[in-house]
Structures are given as structure tokens and as C-alpha cells.
Homo-oligomer: A and B are copies of this chain.
Amino acid sequence: MPVTLSLHPRVQLSRERYRGVSQQITVSIIGATGYSGTELLRILVRHPRVALGALVAGNSAGRKICEVVPALWGRLDTVVQAYSPDAVAGSDLAFIALPSGEAMKIVPELLERGVRVIDLGGDFRLAEPGSYREYYGREHTAPELLPAVYGLPELRRDSVRGKQLVANPGCYPTSAILPLAPLLGAGVVERDGIVICSMSGVSGAGRTASQDFSFCEVNESVRAYRVGRHQHIPEIAAALAASAGGDVAMSFTPHLVPITRGIHTTISARLSNGVGAAEIENVLREKYGSEPFVRLTGSVPPEVKNVAGTNRADIGWHADEAGRQVTLLCVIDNLVKGAAGQAVQNMNILFDYEESEGLL
């Protein structure tokens, strides 16, 4: 007998579908104990299509995952493994949630073994090894794979389908590209004079023992960092250029704010000549009106807490028509829509599941 929840018709979670799609997939996580890896586990233990395979984390090998991640007590007691290609080889898919520079070392051998890969790091997002060298500070060891498809589903889902390797977008880029790309594509905003100002919670820095991220150094304070040189700049620029049909001139300034999770991005752009402010809403509604994970809040500024723990991006805006200036506001949870949730969304596309499966 169908078990349906009293849901908004936009999202269907009908259990009959379980009978339609035959097998589950086996999924491994490489980097299972960092903040993104833990978020993946949180989502995947509830995903009806997923059987978890290897959980890999070098510094916890030999321990049960529920000992390392107390939130998983009583739910998962898989023993964490050290990485080896064989440990992962039997999986249909491997998520990689490691510091930049690590994924590129192991992705080739995983692909060779027929394992599909979704990389939550930045190693495969950029097209040019030169860009990668400039912003990440090292030589790319698998440049032949660059770039992998950039897994921003709301804009690229057709490109994601059928791929072996998906580059999961960065958190800041997700929050900046979602509001801007459609407006650039429709010529509603100009390609130059784009100013992006983002504020992120501290989990974006990863599970770290650095003094700079100690409680007393972060609490009751705000600071910008990596001004003008954050590694997300080239991928934002590339995605916006792709939508705009030409290079964009933008600046991006990230800031650390004393919350654990969440990103708030504020964008200033120039309203194109002859375009009315109403076009902003028209374009965004046309693009996102049916998307389960994008909510348009219009003139009501979105709030980080309203998307925390969800795979949703909320977008608001304000236009100064006389001043030909547009302010776009976007909030996401950096660990969900900015990382693990979006990665699972991409997984659902790769394996032809409903895109929102397991994300509610």
C-alpha cells in the first residue's frame, strides 16, 4: 500500500518507486571523517538507494566510524580503512572529501577500476593546469582529466549525466553562481563590475587544529581572508563566463563569521541598459521556479538559518533601477548545498535516481 507523506506536490517521495529501480549502488567515501565526509554519511545512511562500501580516513583507520563520529552511534559501525584502490574498487561510486591536492593523486586509478568519482574538492574544477598552479600552489598530476564536468545540477544536470568523474563545486562558488548565471545568460546584468562579498561559517575551513580557527580567535569577530586570491575565484569566473558567453570582470572577498555552518553571499551587479528591474524576477523564476532546491525570496532577505541542514539555496534581490544597480543575496549551508548535499544530488543524476532522493 502506498505510503505517502503529506507533502507539497513539488516533491514526490512515493515508495512505489522502490520497486521500479532494481539495484542499490555501493558507495564509498574517501575522507569520511572530515566535516564534508561526516555530512555525506549523515545523508547517505538515510538514502534508500545507497549501501555504504568503504569508509576511508587515514587518521582513523581501524576504528569504528561511530567512535570517530558520535552522531553515527547506533547507526553505522563500519570499520574505517586506510586508503587503497582495492578497498574502493568494488564500489559503484566513490566520493572524495579530502584536502585539495589529494584527490588528483587517486582519481586516475579509481577511474581505471571502473569506479565513478564525485570529488568534493577543487582538483578537477578548473580547465587550465596553469590556473590550478596559480591558485592552489602546486602542479596538477592528472591534467588530462581537466576539467571534469562542473556539477552544479540546476545549471548543468544534462552535462553531469553519464559522466565518470564529477567535480563538485565549491561552497562559495555555488552561492555566487546560482543567482548570477541566469541573469548573465539572459543579459539582465552586465559582465563587468560584479562584486561578490561572502561570509562563511567556520566549518568551511575544515576539521583543523590551526590557532587561527580556535574558538577564541574566531568568536565575536569577523575577518576577511585570502582577499583577491581565494582559490574559488577562477571557478566562479569560469562558470559565470560560460553563462555570460564571454569573460566577466569580478571581485570576490570571503569573510569568516562566527557560526559553525552556512554561507551568505551578497553580489552587486550592474543592471544592463534598457532592462527593467522586473526582469530579475522573471529570469530567476523561469530558471528556478520548478527547482526543488532553490527558493526565491524576492525582496525578503534570505537567512542562513533557514537553509541550515538542508540542500536548499535561498535567493533574494533588490534592484535600484535608477541607479542601474542590482543586489543579489544567496544563502546556503556550506556543508550541504555547498558540499555533501550537492554531491548526493549529482550522484542521483549519475545513477538516474530522482534528483532529490535522500535529500529530504
Contacts and interface: CB of A to CB of B under 8 A. Distances in A.
Interface of A: 1, 3, 5-8, 10-11, 15, 18-19, 22, 24, 35, 45-52, 66, 70-71, 73-78, 193, 195, 197, 199, 201-203, 207-211, 213-225, 227-228, 249, 251, 253, 255, 257-262, 264, 266, 268, 292, 295, 299, 301-306, 308-310, 312, 314, 316, 318, 320, 323, 325, 327, 329, 331, 360
Contacts of A325: 249, 251
B5 A50 contact: yes
Contacts of A251: 268, 320, 323, 325, 327
11 contacts: A5-B46, A75-B360, A195-B268, A207-B214, A207-B216, A210-B214, A220-B305, A227-B327, A227-B329, A251-B323, A253-B327
Given A207-B211, A208-B214, A255 B199 contact: yes
Nearest to A292: B74
Contact of A331 (B5, B51, B222, B257): B222
A294 B108 CA distance: 44
A218 B257 CA distance: 13
Given A257-B257, A268-B268, 9 more contacts: A6-B51, A70-B314, A197-B268, A199-B257, A220-B260, A222-B264, A222-B303, A251-B327, A253-B266
So how many copies of this chain end up in the complex? 4
B301 A227 contact: yes
Given A47-B5, A215-B219, A220-B304, A210 B207 contact: no
A264 B253 CA distance: 12
A24 B6 CA distance: 11
A255 B249 contact: no
B223 A259 contact: no
A93 to B, nearest CB: 14
A1 B22 CA distance: 8
Contact of A264 (B19, B70, B224): B224
B255 A264 contact: yes
A314 to B, nearest CB: 8
A146 to B, nearest CB: 24
